[in-house]
Structure 1
Amino acid sequence: MSTVLDEIIAGVREDLAARERLVPAAEVARAAAARPAALDAWAALGGGAPAGDLRVIAEVKRRSPSKGALADIADPAALAAQYERGGASVISVLTEQRRFGGSIEDLDAVRAAVSIPVLRKDFTVEEYQITEARAHGADLVLLIVAALDDARLAGLLALTHELGMNALVETHTEEEVDRAAAAGARIVGVNVRNLKTLEIHRDVFGALAGRMPEGAVIVGESGVRGPDDVAHFARHGAGAVLVGEALVTDGDPRARIEEFKSAGAAAIAERLSAH
């Protein structure tokens, strides 16, 4: 029985094939090589720094399979600029079109508008997508462990690093965390949304955080509605959270990011004092 992830990836592969026919891989590689060096998303998310601040990856997101239409984002660049002013450390841009309403053009617009690292949020299954992300200015790509076998995960992660980028390696289970660690992931996300039912199970985060590779940046993904959710992730080891819906549906995303950062920092201080 196919999962939502399987169905999304089938569409991604069809759309990818169409883009490859229009823009051959060699042309994309030349464009990627001509780009200035990628920004250091690892450092921006607190990699190598003492724990203290909670980083926010703020997402430009129009739709989702679980909620349908979320926001009519006519100007993704303006929204991203608000995110940056609110203190976001990274801007995530959904570029999958069929289920999320995103595009490469959104990535281009956001890259031109902000000075912080940008994550190309898509369902990465081929090397072309990573080179394409760099060609369009992305500093970070998403690799979903559930969508990749070990060899493909390791290969895509290696290419990401060769291009000077970082990868957010997304996990959902203990086995996936172990696979991410074995591949050498340095930024590991725990998505608390069940891929089969699309339900949120927030307690999954705490169960997996303790298995993370030493020194990894740990990112809480999905289910962030308010400061309590951010605090929950931070209390259980997150150094960052990825937030989309709560920001695109808020009238003042800049203030909301500031609120999330404050709640996260307080929870991290609480966690550290307990040890």
Structure 2
Amino acid sequence: MRVATDISPAALAIPCFSSKSAPRNVSGIIANQRDSFAKYRPGYIICIVGILQTIVSQKRQTLKNVKASLPLRYIREKIADAGSTRDFRSAVKRPPNTAIRLIAEIKKASPSQGIIRKNFDHLSIARTYEEKHVDAISVLTEEDFFEGNISFIPQVKKITSRPVLRKDFIFDDYQIFEARAFEADAILLIAAILERNQAAEYLHLARELGLSVLFEIHGQRELEIALSIGVDMVGINNRNLDTLQVDLNTTITLRKFIPTGVIVVSESGIRSRENVMKLEELGVDALLIGSSLMAVPDIGQKIDELRGSP
């Protein structure tokens, strides 16, 4: 796809970022996936279309190398030596007449924004989250597009008492064992990249390993699948994973179809106290917030702002 040079990125209504702030492997992906990207000039702006399958395709290649270097038998041995998990689900469940829960994310970059936090220090961020008494922490472990690493999880857990979610693109049972071995307390499963039977199998495996599961959906059909396989914690992603566009109405629309007893987490696009209050009024249990925290100099101050603290 080619974009005329007299059209601004804003007019395209698709995510764009400068080449200087792009995640490290974007240029190589553009070379291999020209139909999924367009370059806008001047200023070398990259605009992303249909990114989800590109991420998954890249992740499959990366996972092959990981499996070769650390076979499953070693992962299982590591699990045998691991301690018990922290209760992520209980941490984000919101009792009646209490404030909405906060899952604060550690994330350096994203496909929609490129590098979000230039002076990125995951341990410093984790300390801030501990000091601010967030309810749980989400750690991006995808390396190529988000510049995360699974090694962040045990490092973060050493300095915080909060349960930790491994946020990644999981499509292989190896990744679930890997999450447990690296001390995650919960994993994210994304409906958009899993078949129904696969999702059910992974949900069962994770629970057997003592992991909570946040099952991410974006539409009603995915919600129906989630409920049919016994999911008890649904993450409504306000971001369309193909276009990366964000709309908080996604949570507003889907919330009413989720039965009592299923924990509801709203993800993406939560930037203001007004957003928080709106979702709180809907009966949402928890908010997963990343970019809004990563993009500001003072993360603690932003948390106070979102909570309405003086």
- State whether TM-score is above 0.5: yes
Q: 1:133-189 CA deviation, whole Å, 9 max, x = no partner?
A: 111110010000111011010011111100111011000000111111111111101
Residue pair 1:51, 1:239 contacting (<8 A) in 2 also: no
**1: CA distance, partners of 2:114 / 2:93:** 33
Residue pair 2:99, 2:280 contacting (<8 A) in 1 also: no
* Alpha-carbon shift at residue 108 of structure 1 (Å): 2.6
Amino acid at match of 1:12: K
1:19 to 37, 42, 66: 66
Q: Which residues of 2 match residues 219-234 of structure 1 at below 5 A?
A: 219-234=265-280
The equivalent of 1:258 in structure 2 is 304
Greater CA deviation, 50-59 or 159-168?
A: 50-59
Deviation >3 Å, runs of 4+: none
**1: CA distance, partners of 2:91 / 2:206:** 17
**2: CA distance, partners of 1:245 / 1:80:** 15
**2: CA distance, partners of 1:121 / 1:73:** 21
The root-mean-square deviation of aligned C-alpha atoms, in Å, is 1.6
Amino acid at match of 1:255: Q
Q: Secondary structure at the match of 2:204?
A: helix
Q: Secondary structure at the match of 1:170?
A: strand
**1: CA distance, partners of 2:241 / 2:225:** 18
Residue pair 1:87, 1:258 contacting (<8 A) in 2 also: no
* Alpha-carbon shift at residue 74 of structure 1 (Å): 4.0
**2: CA distance, partners of 1:73 / 1:15:** 26
With CA pairs under 8 Å and 6+ residues apart, which has the higher RCO, 1 or 2? 1
The equivalent of 2:212 in structure 1 is 166
* Alpha-carbon shift at residue 262 of structure 1 (Å): 4.0
**1: CA distance, partners of 2:175 / 2:182:** 10
Greater CA deviation, 103-112 or 181-190?
A: 103-112
Residue pair 1:86, 1:253 contacting (<8 A) in 2 also: no
Greater CA deviation, 162-171 or 50-59?
A: 50-59
Residue pair 1:170, 1:191 contacting (<8 A) in 2 also: yes
TM-score scaled to structure 1, two decimals? 0.91
TM-score scaled to structure 2, two decimals? 0.81
The equivalent of 1:270 in structure 2 is none
Residue pair 1:92, 1:118 contacting (<8 A) in 2 also: yes
* Alpha-carbon shift at residue 242 of structure 1 (Å): 0.5
Over alpha carbons, which structure has the higher Rg? 2
- Identify unmatched segments of 5+ residues in structure 2: 1-34, 37-49
2:171 to 94, 118, 125: 125
1:37 to 73, 84, 109: 84
**2: CA distance, partners of 1:129 / 1:51:** 37
Amino acid at match of 1:118: V
**2: CA distance, partners of 1:137 / 1:45:** 18
* Alpha-carbon shift at residue 62 of structure 1 (Å): 0.6
2:227 to 172, 181, 192: 181
1:104 to 122, 140, 150: 150
Q: Secondary structure at the match of 2:288?
A: strand
The equivalent of 1:7 in structure 2 is 54
Residue pair 1:58, 1:242 contacting (<8 A) in 2 also: yes
* Alpha-carbon shift at residue 73 of structure 1 (Å): 4.6
Amino acid at match of 2:55: I
How much identity, in percent, do the aligned residues show?
A: 35
**2: CA distance, partners of 1:222 / 1:241:** 8
Residue pair 1:189, 1:221 contacting (<8 A) in 2 also: yes
Residue pair 2:108, 2:120 contacting (<8 A) in 1 also: no
- Identify unmatched segments of 5+ residues in structure 1: 264-275
